[in-house]
Amino acid sequence: MALVRTLIDCDKEYAESVLPRELKDLYDGDLRFPASPPARPFVIANFVSTLDGVVSYEIKGKSAGSAISASDPADRFIMGLLRASADAVMIGAGTLLDVSAKGLWTPEYVYPDAKRLYADYRLSALHKPEYPLLVIVSGSGRLDLQRAVFRTPAMRAVVLTTSAGMDELARRGAPALASVEAHALSAGGSIAPQAILELLHLQYGVRTLLHEGGPTLFGQFLAAQAVDELFLTLSPQIAGRERDVARPAVVQGVQFLPDSAPWFQMLSVKQKAAYLYLRYRRS
């Protein structure tokens, strides 16, 4: 039985579908992505936002996306489906921090009911390894290496950092962790999205990259024209904002002008109860 109902579907242009029938039924339609561009992965992003555009309450213990979606099963199913479709899932250090220390960026971690379906899709239809690579971007390297993402041998984690971040990670014991690799992609300051994409493409063979935020990292990718699609769940809740309290939207730390702000085409609209599940492609 479908978890969502498709209201609009403009995604008619691609070749053969590989999505298994049971997943198609749950998603009420197909899910296909174009081939990656020649020199970088195809980048899809996924966020959940309130009706007034807030993606995090920025309150300790209540900052994760689940507070915005109220752990909506269909939102979690789509998150899992996107993870199952990707070669790698990327997050910034701020997003890692706000998820439980046991958190894993696997398809089934967000939606256990479809564990078998996700695994069949990945292994038999997409011919990808069991789990997507987890990519964590942290300039400072100040990561809690006791987290499950760094201690689960079946899952590979790649930390992209700066020279100072490499030193910090070494101090924290990262070289001793078998499933963790770190790369310095900048001498200091911010890492350029292009450098991230190039490394993932050339060194890890990443063709489809799922960008799971947060807003700071996403803003930089958007500004670098390195986002191809945005999956956005609109949750029927209004968070509001005080004048002097930050509550981030999908993009933080970057702003566009009307003449240069990116535009998107709509690919699909799905619905369940008062939730909307939107899919856009960069124009």
Ligand X SMILES: NC(=O)c1ccc[n+]([C@@H]2O[C@H](COP(=O)([O-])OP(=O)(O)OC[C@H]3O[C@@H](n4cnc5c(N)ncnc54)[C@H](OP(=O)(O)O)[C@@H]3O)[C@@H](O)[C@H]2O)c1
**Residue nearer to ligand X on the CB measure, 34 or 188:** 188
Q: Which of 75, 98, 228, 229 binds ligand X (CB under 6 A)?
A: 98
d(CA 47, CA 79): 9
β-pairing, 180-186 with 157-162? parallel
Confirm or reject binding of residue 226 to ligand X (CB under 6 A): no
Q: Which of 56, 85, 106, 208 binds ligand X (CB under 6 A)?
A: 56
Q: Which of 19, 26, 43, 64 binds ligand X (CB under 6 A)?
A: 64
Q: Which of 36, 42, 75, 95 binds ligand X (CB under 6 A)?
A: 95
Confirm or reject binding of residue 94 to ligand X (CB under 6 A): yes
The candidate with the shortest Cα–Cα distance to 85, out of 232, 206, 180, is 206
Per the CB < 8 A criterion, the answer to whether 281 and 267 are in contact is: yes
Selected range binding ligand X among 133-141, 198-206, 239-247, 267-275, rule: CB under 6 A: 133-141
Q: Is 283 exposed, middle or buried, given 0-12, 13-18 or 19+ CB atoms closer than 10 A?
A: exposed
Confirm or reject binding of residue 107 to ligand X (CB under 6 A): no
What are the start-end ranges of the H helices in 41-157?
65-69, 73-85, 93-97, 107-110, 115-120
Per the CB < 8 A criterion, the answer to whether 46 and 211 are in contact is: yes
**Residue 230 CB, nearest approach to ligand X (Å):** 11
The site map against ligand X for 138-177 (x = CB under 6 A) is xxx-x-----------------------------------
The site map against ligand X for 3-42 (x = CB under 6 A) is ----------------------------------------
d(CA 203, CA 195): 12
Q: According to CB under 6 A, which residues from 184 to 223 bind ligand X?
A: 190-191, 212-217, 220
Selected range binding ligand X among 132-140, 255-263, 264-272, 274-282, rule: CB under 6 A: 132-140
Confirm or reject binding of residue 50 to ligand X (CB under 6 A): no
d(CA 135, CA 138): 10
Q: Which two tokens stand for residue 5?
A: 């109902």
Selected range binding ligand X among 28-36, 94-102, 111-119, 223-231, rule: CB under 6 A: 94-102
The separation between CA 279 and the C-alpha centre of its own chain, rounded to angstroms, equals 14
Selected range binding ligand X among 13-21, 33-41, 60-68, 269-277, rule: CB under 6 A: 60-68
Confirm or reject binding of residue 235 to ligand X (CB under 6 A): no
The candidate with the shortest Cα–Cα distance to 210, out of 73, 58, 54, 36, is 36
Confirm or reject binding of residue 93 to ligand X (CB under 6 A): yes
For residue 137, the cross-strand partners are 92, 160
